[in-house]
A and B are shown apart, each in its own frame.
Chain A
């Protein structure tokens, strides 16, 4: 053990309380919330300050009873007896110190005996504050909540998983987070030492290599065998998770380590310093700037780029410097959709230069694959269009899962976090611009303003069609929602891709927190819990969180709504209930047509969520959530949403069940 080093403010010692140095004193030291912000070059001073205050409040001195339990042998017990029955200073208390040190706001979980030690420490030693336990009825819910929370705050949460079984339940949500580059710290309870396992279940819930089940789609993991090892690995895990390209990490919590008596061991809190994100090579960035300035029709395509509002501002600066259109693929809120340079994907076909920023799929941006018997490739871009690809995808991938997409040889490929690289690129663009190029910006702006206005008018016009249809059109659903929420500080906490992208087409989305992107791995069971995680993040800000909930997704994770009610997380949910797995209808239809067997009614088989029809409103009502519906008449939708909003305003979740057109 290292000796105490009070000269380093980031070094904290854990000692017996009786020695005069409170183990809670470390709170005044480093704050990981600040680390998260600093590593991305953002200014979140206020946020950091708030976290520091939260932690101080969470760590009030222990009560007299707690102190007595910790320090003294209870009356009526010999000291030998007390050693058999009681633990004064359990290892999991130190683990909670580490969680607090790293600044986790919440820790999501479905409870399990493999982490009963730290469960107790969080509740009693940590006072269930920062981190506060959020209880979920399934690990997939707990994990996806972390995913949604990160998308809003830029801060990771931790998730407690019950060893082998818990991780297997969590696996799908971990995979989504991996594909979507969302950081989180998974803590998996496990019992390594056979002498420590109780007979029966504890054996089937333990593994030699507990994390293996998710290792293909996390950035890093470790299996600490001592408390100092745990402290060091947690600090490393946090840094790895939060360094772009971000992603989930996992640490096992050995049962013995959690429950052991620490005694007089002096344990150190590791110092934390932010890791600066990787930036593109300067010479390559300057070359990219030259190409952008020379191009007649440069187009910027952006996907998983913006970590925060600063990312949006940086992209606006580059796009305006060039007056180049931006195609947002909406992996993040990268660019305001009401900006005149926000354009549809069709502009890619006109480009002589395409700048890709953190593209999830560069090949698919430039090409398409026709889904016919022979899958032929078509280039969407001009044959002579050059492509610059800036991003971290080459720093990220593993071998087994194929989420890395088709290989594309960009003309200039720059490895680096795009948000970090943008200011340098914009500065280089400004320097490289000739007077005549600069003077062409006026004409370019005029052209893109006209195109933007046209697209906007077309979108609003398209929303008229099926306006009075029953079941309700998805355009009407979003228009009715907008009329109720437009004067609020709102945030959409779901993806509108399956609803014909009506939010992006109709609502002005110009703040980073107003949109949380997509799931990543397209695994169902992400929507409801990630929305709730995002709503949890919006709660202290008083923002209205709006979740448009698909029926198929909800049936994977209905317990999400119990968590919403249990923890009083306000969220307005309106359903997109098309009574089936709609994507699969179309695949079955395509196969039937291709084989010339016809589809006369048979596409429901294996794809439907009806017969019996599912009363989603009743399901959530049974879990304590205010609900109305199902509604199929569009005239009922607006008033129902207004009533639901009253409930949300009172701090509770509310749910309006609407049956809709397929998309």
Chain B
């Protein structure tokens, strides 16, 4: 396919957006793998939904710095030091948690109309 010279700027933007999205997806996938191998899901669930053993972590409202502080210097969960979970990997986990899509709205779940 030949792109007219006049459209070069648009093509570059599109390519860049696609690349960013693709990178973000790769990052999230990598983060998911780390989320699973480091067993975050044991307490927080595979979708970060939380429960009796750990709090819900989605939607992720904290910036990375605050998230890191909670994981490293915690009152409840085991403290994960950089020796077992690097900053880089922790950031990937954070990226994954941020990428978890919103669940369906209540009105779209008839089973939760419990009255």
> Does B42 belong to the interface (CB within 8 Å)?
yes
> B29 interface residue, CB < 8 Å from A?
no
Of the listed stretches B8-16, B19-27, B43-51, name the one at the interface; the rest are far from the partner chain. B43-51
Digitize A457-499: 1 where CB-to-B-CB distance is under 8 Å, 0 elsewhere: 0001111111111010111100110110010000000000111
Q: Contact between B78 and A466 (Cβ–Cβ < 8 Å)?
A: no
A474 and B42 contacting across the interface, CB-CB below 8 Å: no
Asked if A589 meets B39 with Cβ closer than 8 Å, knowing A465-B103, A501-B52, A597-B84, the reply is: yes
Chain A contacts of B47 at CB under 8 A? 465-466, 469, 473, 661
Query: In the complex, which residue of chain B has the Cβ closest to the Cβ of A456?
Result: B114
Q: Which residues of B contact A475 (CB under 8 A)?
A: 49, 51
Are B38 and A482 interface neighbours, CB within 8 A? no
Cβ contacts under 8 Å, A474 to chain B: 51
Query: Cβ of B109: which chain A residues have Cβ within 8 Å of it?
Result: 464, 467, 479
Closest to A597 in B: B84
A640 CB to nearest chain B CB (Å): 14
Chain A 367-402 residues near chain B, CB threshold 8 A: 370
Chain B contact surface mostly: loop
A416 to chain B: closest CB distance in Å? 33
A661 touching B104, Cβ below 8 Å: no
Pair B49/A479 contact, Cβ less than 8 Å:
no
Residues A473 and B78 in contact in the complex (CB < 8 Å), given A460-B106, A598-B84, A603-B39: no
Q: Contact between B46 and A469 (Cβ–Cβ < 8 Å)?
A: yes
Is the CB of A451 closer than 8 A to any CB of chain B? no
Residue A624, interface by CB 8 Å:
no
Partner among A466, A507, A592, A598 whose Cβ is within 8 Å of the Cβ of B103: A466
Judge whether B84 and A465 touch: CB under 8 Å: no
Number of interface residues of B (CB under 8 A): 33
Cβ B85 vs Cβ A466 within 8 A: no
- Minimal Cβ-Cβ distance residue in A for B81: A596
The distance from the CB of B50 to the nearest CB of chain A, in whole angstroms, is 7
User: Within the complex, what minimum Cβ distance (angstroms) separates A374 from chain B?
Assistant: 13
Query: Is B56 an interface residue when CB atoms closer than 8 A count as contact?
Result: yes
Chain B residues with Cβ below 8 Å from A589 are 39, 42, 78
A645: min CB distance to chain B, Å: 16
- Identify which of B43, B84, B104 contacts A586 (C-beta below 8 A): B43
Interface bits B33-65 vs A (CB < 8 Å: 1, else 0): 000011101110111111111001010000000
Separation in Å of the B11 CB from the closest CB of chain A? 37
A528 to chain B, nearest CB (A): 20
Interchain CB contact (< 8 A) of A663 among B38, B45, B105: B45
A464 near B112 with CB under 8 A, answer yes
- Chain A residues within an 8 Å CB radius of B48: 465-466
A662 to B51, CA, bound (A): 9
By beta carbon, the residue of chain B nearest A506 is: B114
For residue B17, which residues in chain A have a CB less than 8 angstroms away from its CB? none
Q: CB-CB < 8 A to A663: which residues of B?
A: 43, 45, 51-53
Interface residue A600 (Cβ < 8 Å from any Cβ of B): yes
Contacts A486-B114, A500-B53, A663-B51 supplied; 10 other A-B pairs, CB < 8 Å: A466-B46, A466-B103, A475-B49, A497-B52, A586-B42, A590-B78, A593-B78, A601-B37, A638-B111, A663-B52
- State the 8 A-B residue pairs at the shortest beta-carbon distance, nearest first: A500-B51, A593-B78, A465-B49, A598-B84, A466-B47, A466-B49, A500-B52, A663-B51
A–B Cβ pairs within 8 angstroms, 30 of them: A460-B106, A462-B50, A462-B56, A464-B109, A465-B47, A465-B56, A466-B45, A466-B47, A466-B48, A467-B109, A469-B45, A473-B47, A474-B51, A479-B112, A480-B111, A482-B111, A497-B52, A500-B53, A506-B114, A582-B53, A585-B39, A585-B42, A589-B78, A593-B79, A593-B84, A599-B38, A603-B39, A661-B49, A661-B51, A662-B45
